[in-house]
Amino acid sequence: MKLVIIDDEVNSIKVLTNYLQGSKDKYEIVGSFTNPFKALDEIDLLEPDVLLLDIEMPEMTGFELLDKLDLKHINVIFVTAFDHYGIKAIKHSALDYLLKPFSSHELYEALDKAERHLENGNLRKLGFKQGEPRYVIIPSLNTYTKVDFDEMVYVEGQRGSG
């Protein structure tokens, strides 16, 4: 999974980088920025899967940066020292909200959530490709399951939650 870190504090970037050192085979930091304007110029070229994004930065907040990006293929995990932006983060479709100081365990939990989100999104996209489908994608609370028509014996639908 490709990651971009955007935080005006160099030490915060170092902490994230150190936490991720042992997982280079799973997570690749393709860019890190202390300047959100520089990040805006580079993000499209880097094609990250996840932004690890600070909120309060000089000249541009993390929310302002998100408003300037196409987030169709990018997941956002906020990494901040401020707890009062939680609701706003949810409204910006953040996958997680890590409050500094956080542990490496909390970071990995957030990244695992991002990975599941990406896998589910990719599986869901398969169901919308052109041509005659040979399977159906079934959503559940946290995942999507691909079921081939040839494997189905009986199908019953239910409307609502009851």
What is the distance between the alpha carbons of residues 84 and 55, in angstroms, rounded to a whole number? 11
Q: Which helix (H) or strand (E) holds 153?
A: none
pLDDT for the residue 159: 67
- pTM, 2 dp: 0.74
Q: Could you give the maximum distance between any two Cα atoms of the chain, in Å?
A: 59
Tens digit of each residue's pLDDT, the chain (162 residues): 999 999 999 999 999 999 999 888 899 999 999 999 999 999 989 999 999 999 999 989 999 999 998 777 788 999 999 999 988 988 888 889 999 999 999 999 999 988 888 776 654 455 445 455 567 777 777 777 777 777 878 777 766 655
CA distance 105 to 92: 24
The Cα–Cα gap between 123 and 87 comes to 29
Per-residue model confidence (pLDDT) at position 150: 76
Architecture of domain 2-126: 3-Layer(aba) Sandwich (3.40)
